[in-house]
A and B are shown apart, each in its own frame.
Chain A
Amino acid sequence: TQLLEQSPQFLSIQEGENLTVYCNSSSVFSSLQWYRQEPGEGPVLLVTVVTGGEVKKLKRLTFQFGDARKDSSLHITAAQPGDTGLYLCAGTNFGNEKLTFGTGTRLTIIP
Chain B
Amino acid sequence: SQTIHQWPATLVQPVGSPLSLECTVEGTSNPNLYWYRQAAGRGLQLLFYSVGIGQISSEVPQNLSASRPQDRQFILSSKKLLLSDSGFYLCAWSLPSGRLGSQIETQYFGPGTRLLVL
Answer whether A and B are interacting partners.
no
* Interface residues, chain B, with chain A CB atoms under 8 Å away: none
